[in-house]
Structure 1
Amino acid sequence: MTDQTPDITNDIEHHRTWRHVFGLAWPMTINAVMLHGTVVIDAYLVSSLGESALAAMGLAAAIAGFVLGAILAFSNAMQIRTAQAFGTNDPVFVKSTLVSGLAVSLTVGGVGLIILALFGGSLINAMAPTNDIAGMARGYLAVFSIVILGEAVGQCLSSYFNGCGRTRVPLYSFCLSLPINVIASIVLIHGYAGLPAFGVTGAALGSALAVCIQVVFLVIQLWRVDAALAKIRGWRQSTFALTVYRHLSFSLPIAATFISATFAAHICTLIYANLSLNEFAAMTLITPWIMVAGTIGMQWAQATGIIVAQLLGQQPSAAVLDRFLSSAWRAGFVAALFVALIYAGICLSATYLYADLSLETRTILLGFLPILLILPFPKQSNAICGNTLRASGDTIYVMHIFVWSQWLFRVPATALAVLVFNVPVFWVLSLLFVEELIKFPIFHRRLFQGNWKRAQVAT
């Protein structure tokens, strides 16, 4: 199970530094940027159709995001579990993690599609400000279901490759699918090359075509590199059912953390729909950018967690872990600075990026700049703490920090700010920063206690 990516699980006597994190993080970052960039691309291409089309896409994407977020949540757990298995160098453990992860991801995606089919249209009708926006949103959501099914397979396989240290494979898959997404979306939105103009739905059609091609590529790469796993007999536990149960018991706290974060984010997006049209359009545009640029810091933290999980699988000394984490942490703040500079560039160039939108919408985007300059720093430090603790198996504690900060603070605070007090949209966005400040002391106290260094992960 090797490719051109260096094997970081062997010889733990080597001094692990930020350079090893960078070797994993840069493909993961580009990969994640392309993943979140799907929504940014759709938003950018649809923005030429006006605020109503943009609002319809934002509403449909928020509803579909509940299911897609659940898939991504279990994929994040899959990534850490794979890193632990890969660190033990046990092929039965690796095979068990891969098959269990696929079974769980497909089940989550299938159940999610059923829920969307039953309730998605009614929710759109209840939330959309006009019937035209509701119709466009329903069309986008119907086609986007194909994307959800593809991501159920694609994200699981991408997480498997990341956990094994082969982070370039998912990157190559997105390098293949992204141009297809852009070209197909442009053609289908506007009806070029003799095809009908599908409008908002065309953006979803382009994304669906791209994700199908991406999944085919990942399956081919899995068979090419790891076909030998199919010949491995037995499971990590005595039966496949017990193996899936063990995988779930590890994954659920991590998945619950990400599901909670996704649900909270999309509920806040639905609350944002009660802002003025220009404010909601500005939030619809900046939120994907926050995710896209923020992935630089988040993928750095996840790469740190992967290496910690692999090292813990080999039971290194505390000194090895301390040296590695200190180096990775210092470089993480450089990543946070880079994120802040990207946010600055987006806000300052809003006039040129979104020239088709009204002056008021572009002015609101520029006004977001102060809070976006400081948001990445506490967020980066919290992310490194969270991923390190998850890698050691301390998943329930991390889950509590995220869940309670979201549901006891961010969601109710957003509802009060928008629905009750009608505060300016700048202060609504600032709630993201306040949430990070709340989590900061709780995360860091747990990490500095040091119990994570003595974790037994090979179970």
Structure 2
Amino acid sequence: MSEISGGRHDLAQPADLAPRPGAADDLPVPTNLAQAAIEVLRVAVPLMISAGMMSVVLFADRTLLMFYDGASMSASMAGGNLFWVVVCVPIGAAAMTGAVIGQLIGNGEPEKVGRLLWQSIWLSLMTVPFFVAAFLGAESLFRLTGQPEELIAAEATYMRWLMLGGLGLVIESALSGFFSGTERTSVIMWVSVASGLLNVVLDVVLIFGWGGLPALGIAGAAIGSVIAFWFKVVCYSWLLSRPGLESRYRMRGGFGLDLPMLRNFLYYSLPSGLMYLTEAGAFTIIILRIGQLGDVPLRATTMAINFNMVAFIPLVGIAIAASVLVGRHLLQNGPAFAVRTSLASLLIALFYSGVWAIAYLVAGDWMLSLYGLGTPDEDSRQAILLAGGLLGFVASYVLVDAVQLILSAALKGAGDTWFVLAAGAATSALSIAAGIAFDPGRSSLTWWWWVITIWIWALAIAMTTRFLGGRWKSMRMV
């Protein structure tokens, strides 16, 4: 597919397109694994902090809801997961913006970055009708899944409010792709930190009704998130409107609908979004099956997933860095450099995940004691005891999860997005089918955690096999 690039260009750029100091193509090329690791960390650390801020926000969100009302915490888990199922396809597609921009930079075509970014925004705007439909049908969706009647109203409330921020979440994912693709990741970090702090403050004020405002509970938590989503859009839009970016990237000059570029971008980005859907859909089915067991198992699962999330979400920052750098090096320096970047990213991710695996095994009870602060009700105390066993599952797969995440990101950075989708869909479908077929009974919480663990191992095996096969080395998205 060559519509984005429109053919190879001479790498000598006109004066107004000459690389600025600090631009990605001014940086030294890593010639060994240590230098590759330094390069990955340069790009990844701000993204890890950014993603880590998201995990802090989600953790605070659910923990504050538990202090407000334990049932609200359970409802936020199910409601948030279904919200993610609705928005994950456009978000996954928008998230490919950075990887494609990385290849444009590597191919010596920075003047096409603005036009590509606009195509990502147009795709984002096309999602509005789907979000409206999900808003209107929220309660029916939860009722169809067989959720406990006492949780449905809270789950639907949480999801409906979040849907008001769904478009903002997709647009900010597209806009942040410019900063990841051009390796200006510190911008993403600062915007995320500001947005995250705003979200936590709004959670405290709106959930509990501080400052004379009424206590909104689970609705307040969702409203805080929505405001934070749109706050990011405003920040990125302002930063991208700066005149200094126009001469090199044609931010304003790229305005408009470019159908060949849009089709090419959709070809590579849609599988990424659908991969998000298969994973989110499978995970949501598992959560809903656990929800059918009652509030206590769902609450325990939410507690364990919260701590899993603290370890996993920062890994997304390393994955984004791997995707962008693999894409750039593949075109700019060749497959050997892309392989070196992938291995460096993987080693960093394994070290980070290994620290958390040890923490879950050694200090899991201490972590869960956070939920015992204050005066938890009897259901919460039972959930804390159950969650202690579930953290053992998390420790057993957290390293493997890092492998599948980083290698799938490397494959997507090269353009092997359709394989990532096929492997993800197959492993998700097989895991859920086996889980349902061999479920030993309705009281089998640990069974569904075994399903999660086996599913993640299967993903890691598929991505490792594909990566070692090497077909991705000859792929291009521009």
Q: Does TM, normalized by the shorter one, top 0.5?
A: yes
What is the 5 A alignment of 1:340-419? 340-341=357-358, 343-344=360-361, 345=363, 347-355=365-373, 356-357=376-377, 358-409=380-431, 411-416=432-437
Residue 157 of structure 2 aligns with which residue?
139
Shift of 1:54: 1.9
**CA contact 1:32–1:292 (8 Å) conserved in 2:** no
Pair 1:100–1:371, CA change in 2 (3 A): same
Distance in 2 separating the partners of 1:434 and 1:372: 12
Residue 156 of structure 1 aligns with which residue?
174
Shift of 1:160: 2.3
Residue 298 of structure 1 aligns with which residue?
316
Pair 1:275–1:14, CA change in 2 (3 A): same
Q: Which runs of 5+ in 2 are unaligned?
A: 1-16
Residue 88 of structure 1 aligns with which residue?
107
Shift of 1:263: 1.8
Residue 443 of structure 1 aligns with which residue?
463
Residue 27 of structure 1 aligns with which residue?
46
Distance in 2 separating the partners of 1:128 and 1:66: 17
Residue 101 of structure 1 aligns with which residue?
120
Tell me the secondary structure at the aligned position of residue 421 of structure 1. coil
Tell me the secondary structure at the aligned position of residue 198 of structure 1. coil
Scaled by the length of structure 1, the TM-score of the pair is 0.89
Residue 353 of structure 2 aligns with which residue?
336
The amino acid of 1:261's aligned partner reads E
The amino acid of 2:417's aligned partner reads T
**CA contact 2:206–2:214 (8 Å) conserved in 1:** yes
Shift of 1:216: 1.1
Q: Which runs of 5+ in 1 are unaligned?
A: none
Tell me the secondary structure at the aligned position of residue 368 of structure 1. helix
Distance in 1 separating the partners of 2:28 and 2:238: 32
Distance in 2 separating the partners of 1:103 and 1:273: 37
Pair 1:211–1:252, CA change in 2 (3 A): closer
Distance in 1 separating the partners of 2:407 and 2:347: 13
What is the 5 A alignment of 1:24-103? 24-103=43-122
Shift of 1:11: 5.8
Structure 1 vs Structure 2 CA RMSD: 2.7
- Aligned pair 1:190/2:211, yes or no? no
Pair 1:313–1:284, CA change in 2 (3 A): same
What is the 5 A alignment of 1:249-264? 249-264=267-282
Scaled by the length of structure 2, the TM-score of the pair is 0.86
Shift of 1:380: 1.7
The amino acid of 1:376's aligned partner reads V
**CA contact 2:40–2:322 (8 Å) conserved in 1:** yes
Distance in 1 separating the partners of 2:222 and 2:296: 23
Pair 1:437–1:137, CA change in 2 (3 A): closer
Distance in 1 separating the partners of 2:207 and 2:20: 39
Percent same amino acid among aligned pairs?
20
Q: Number of paired residues? A: 451
**CA contact 1:5–1:165 (8 Å) conserved in 2:** no
**What whole-Å deviation, never above 9, does each CA across 1:139-187 have from its counterpart, x for those lacking one?**
2222212221221211111122112111111211121122221121111
Distance in 2 separating the partners of 1:354 and 1:127: 31
- Aligned pair 1:321/2:338, yes or no? yes
- Partner of residue 184 from structure 2, selected from 161, 166, 169: 166
Distance in 2 separating the partners of 1:98 and 1:319: 29
Distance in 2 separating the partners of 1:3 and 1:123: 51
**CA contact 1:66–1:263 (8 Å) conserved in 2:** yes
Shift of 1:101: 0.8
Tell me the secondary structure at the aligned position of residue 211 of structure 2. coil
**CA contact 1:80–1:306 (8 Å) conserved in 2:** yes
Shift of 1:45: 0.9
- Partner of residue 253 from structure 2, selected from 232, 247, 264: 232
Pair 1:30–1:253, CA change in 2 (3 A): same
Tell me the secondary structure at the aligned position of residue 281 of structure 2. helix
- Partner of residue 206 from structure 1, selected from 224, 236, 240: 224
Name which of structure 1's ranges 359-368 and 71-80 shifts more when overlaid on structure 2: 71-80
